[in-house]
């Protein structure tokens, strides 16, 4: 088998442009963005000698026309590293490139200032300046106002009756520099390659997810017989108004398919199910159907359609769990035994993730009849897309081959570009990143296990950095599978703290139903809830949640704040600010006016007490430049959680108590 050859390298440009980013494997896969996302384009641009160089980032639409051209800024003087921020405004496959160019005006103005002040070649320098400006004025992009500014400058440079310093000032005035910043004189233009940029709809980056098990909503137990009656899709729909009222954008359903009886798990993952135990919804498949069917207890496709319709009425999208595995009773097992792994004793291998064992689940073997498996799964996804599902949360995608994912995600994207896939891959970094690279829109993350100030600061910086070119993080404080020791031990305060971090640390976040009740009791020896909803019905007292814990109110406030602040809807715009206390974390997000959908700059500072047991005092050491406050000593800090407004400077003092006020979410209002 021959290996593919690398693309022949293009000759180096007259003005070299190298190390262009963000790119993925040199452009083998596209960089990702969403409509309205602000994306940094970076490159190293230089030339021989000492003449000035500059660079432009060019964003090109799917139809091949240039969308925008942004003058790049030297962000690392001495290292020739340039940066600009671009912002696509439509879904599709875009490209971007960097153009390096010689800057005759920059060269002249630098040299002229030095020489005229030293009275070296004064008349020659002023004459050359006039020629440069005359050349610049011939650019067709110049407006009449631009040309008038340059013409006046040329006259000033040529006016020998004035002192040399005054003539020089005419050619280097702020007005002239503004014109040539807007329409620069560019020579020796050298373009980089065009790199792919796939742009998705905004929900691929920004959204608030709410997970529920439909069978628990409306489930009830007969007090006389002890027999449970399952909730249905119709009763689950009754929960939707409350979810929408809290400000969530997506309601995510765990699997709703028939559940196998063979090796069905009982309560708390016991091996033997008792009569009436519903089993894990991840043990998919029974004689009455598999992944393309609905559990009879939940209802019919008409009921599902009604659920989707009600969600849409309330502004919610519906996400469905995709778990590519089968119970021993799944129709695939009888019809296609070759799709599974047969062990030496003739039995089919069940799923394992030592020490965890899943005797009720058979993993698919993608090496046996990969085309047959592909076709079956593609058909399954189409069923749910046809019934209004617009997002899929994919269970354990890292246990399936990457070529399968690359193929099927591209196939779905071609036919249904609005459909979004969330990767539930709590696994090694290389696999998580590559799943994102080959097409997953979002990914679960290690946020769930990052708790200290240092861990969180480093992780927030990491997910907003280079990895943001492909992997969009989704922050979840808990899931139906995960309840960390921090959440077990910290009580309601821990739930409040982690909600603030998740909602402001990533544009996409989610909670698992029951979060409002601070459900924190773990099954002994496990990092998951006792009486786990995966194995039993779990109706909840939502009124008690609202009255007792206050988390419903907090979740509602967080989602409102996220909607109100465009800065919190971006990923790559985070700054970590030092604090004097080792359990107080401070970070900010900023979007400039020219990039904001409101046309106004938006800056938000988040300060969180990470200690769920103790009140913490801290000084904040704010980077005022990062907040857009250069030159200001004080500013108004409006707390979106409390409604109070403080006067803050570069080093404000904060006191945060985990049971009352565990965080500030501050809107910066310049004084």
Residue 132 CA: distances (Å) to CA of 157, 189, 353, 485? 11, 17, 70, 68
DSSP string, 640-656: TTT--EEEE-SS-EEEE
Residues noted as catalytic: 395, 424
DSSP string, 418-464: T-EEEEE--S-HHHHHHHHHTT-SEEE-GGGG--SHHHHHHHHHHHH
227's tokens: 């027999």
276 within 8 A of 267, measured Cβ to Cβ: no
- Strand blocks (E) in 147-287: 187-191, 195-200, 207-212, 220-221, 228-229, 250-253
Cβ count within 10 A of residue 226: 8
Query: What residues form DSSP beta bridges with 42?
Result: 21, 83
What is the C-alpha separation between 634 and 625, in angstroms, rounded? 13
Is 453 assigned a ligand-binding role in the annotation? no
Pairing of strands 317-322, 250-253: parallel
3-state secondary structure of 557: helix
Is 534 assigned a ligand-binding role in the annotation? yes
Is 82 assigned a ligand-binding role in the annotation? no
Is 325 assigned a ligand-binding role in the annotation? yes
122's tokens: 């004064």
Cβ burial 405-421 (10 Å sphere, 16+ → b, else e): bbbbbeebbeeeeebbb
Residue 501 CA: distances (Å) to CA of 373, 378, 568? 40, 36, 12
Nearest to 395 by CA among 327, 325, 331: 325
Judged on CB neighbours under 10 Å (0-12, 13-18, 19+), 8 is exposed
What is the C-alpha separation between 192 and 194, in angstroms, rounded? 6
Is 265 assigned a ligand-binding role in the annotation? yes
564 phi, psi to nearest 5 deg: -75, -20
3-state secondary structure of 475: strand
645 within 8 A of 636, measured Cβ to Cβ: yes
Q: Residue 20 carries which DSSP code?
A: E
**Rg (the chain; Cα; Å):** 30
Sequence-separated (6 or more) residues with CB below 8 Å from residue 196: 27, 29, 30, 31, 93, 94, 95
323 within 8 A of 255, measured Cβ to Cβ: yes
Is 535 assigned a ligand-binding role in the annotation? yes
What is the C-alpha separation between 437 and 472, in angstroms, rounded? 10
3-state secondary structure of 665: strand
DSSP string, 223-259: TTT--EE---HHHHHTTHHHHHHTT-SEEEEPP-S-B
Sheet holding 663-670, edge to edge: 574-577, 584-591, 602-609, 663-670, 635-639, 645-648
Return binding residues: 265, 325, 360, 396, 534-535
Give binding residues for alpha-maltose 1-phosphate as ranges.
265, 325, 360, 396, 534-535
């Amino acid at each position: 088998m021959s290996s593919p050859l690398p693309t022949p390298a293009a000759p180096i440009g007259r003005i070299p442009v190298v190390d262009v980013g963000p790119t993925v494997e040199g452009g083998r896969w596209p960089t990702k963005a969403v409509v309205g996302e602000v994306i940094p384009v970076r490159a190293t641009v230089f030339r021989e000698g000492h003449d000035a160089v500059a660079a432009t980032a060019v964003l090109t639409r799917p139809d091949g026309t240039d969308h925008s051209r942004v003058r790049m800024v030297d962000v690392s003087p001495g290292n020739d590293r340039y940066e600009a921020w671009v912002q696509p405004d439509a879904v599709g496959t875009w490209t971007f490139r960097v153009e390096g160019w010689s800057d005759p005006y920059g060269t002249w103005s630098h040299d002229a200032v030095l020489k005229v002040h030293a009275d070296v070649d004064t008349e020659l320098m002023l004459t050359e300046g006039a020629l440069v400006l005359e050349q610049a004025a011939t650019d067709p992009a110049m407006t009449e106002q631009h040309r008038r500014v340059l013409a006046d400058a040329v006259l000033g440079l040529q006016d020998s009756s004035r002192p040399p310093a005054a003539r020089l000032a005419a050619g280097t005035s702020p007005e002239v520099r503004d014109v040539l910043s807007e329409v620069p004189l560019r020579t020796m233009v050298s373009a980089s390659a065009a790199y792919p940029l796939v742009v998705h709809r905004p929900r691929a980056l920004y959204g608030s997810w709410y997970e529920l098990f439909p069978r628990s909503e409306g489930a009830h137990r007969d007090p006389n017989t002890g027999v449970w009656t399952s909730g249905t899709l119709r009763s689950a729909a009754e929960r939707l108004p409350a979810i929408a009222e809290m400000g969530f954008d997506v309601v995510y359903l765990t699997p709703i398919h028939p559940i196998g009886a063979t090796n069905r798990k009982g309560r708390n993952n016991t091996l033997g199910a008792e009569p009436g135990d519903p089993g894990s919804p991840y043990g998919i498949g029974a004689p009455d159907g598999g992944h393309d069917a609905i559990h009879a207890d939940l209802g019919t496709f008409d009921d599902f359609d009604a659920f989707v319709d009600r969600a849409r009425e309330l502004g919610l999208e519906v996400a469905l769990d995709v778990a590519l595995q089968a119970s021993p009773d799944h129709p695939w097992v009888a019809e296609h035994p070759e799709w599974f792994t047969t062990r030496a004793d003739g039995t089919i291998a069940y799923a394992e993730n030592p020490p965890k064992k899943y005797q009720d689940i058979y993993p698919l073997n993608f090496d046996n009849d990969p085309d047959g498996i592909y076709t079956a799964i593609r058909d399954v996804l189409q069923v749910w897309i046809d019934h209004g599902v617009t997002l899929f949360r994919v269970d354990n995608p890292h246990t399936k081959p990457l070529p399968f994912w690359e193929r099927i995600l591209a196939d779905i994207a071609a036919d249904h570009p609005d459909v979004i896939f969330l990767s539930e891959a709590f696994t090694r970094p290389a696999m998580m990143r590559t799943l994102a690279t080959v097409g997953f829109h979002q990914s679960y993350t290690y946020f769930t296990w990052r708790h200290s100030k240092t861990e969180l600061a480093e992780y927030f910086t990491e997910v907003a950095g280079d990895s943001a070119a492909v992997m969009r993080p989704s922050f979840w404080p808990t899931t139906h599978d995960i309840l960390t020791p921090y959440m077990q031990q910290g009580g309601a305060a821990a739930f409040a703290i982690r909600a603030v971090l998740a909602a402001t640390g990533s544009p996409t976040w989610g909670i698992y139903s029951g979060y409002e009740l601070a459900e924190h009791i773990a099954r002994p020896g496990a990092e998951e809830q006792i009486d786990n909803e995966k194995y039993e019905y779990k109706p909840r007292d939502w009124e008690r949640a609202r009255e007792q814990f206050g988390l419903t109110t907090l979740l509602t406030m967080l989602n409102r704040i996220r909607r109100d602040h465009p800065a919190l809807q971006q990923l790559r715009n985070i700054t970590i600010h030092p604090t004097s206390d080792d359990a107080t974390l401070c970070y900010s997000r900023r979007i400039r006016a020219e990039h904001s959908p409101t046309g106004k700059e938006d800056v938000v500072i988040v300060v969180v007490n990470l200690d769920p047991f103790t009140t913490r005092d801290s000084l904040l050491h704010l980077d005022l430049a990062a907040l857009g406050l250069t030159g200001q000593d004080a500013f108004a800090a409006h707390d979106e959680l409390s409604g109070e407004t403080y006067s803050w400077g570069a080093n404000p003092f904060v006191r945060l108590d985990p049971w009352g006020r565990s965080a500030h979410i501050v809107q910066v209002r310049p004084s």
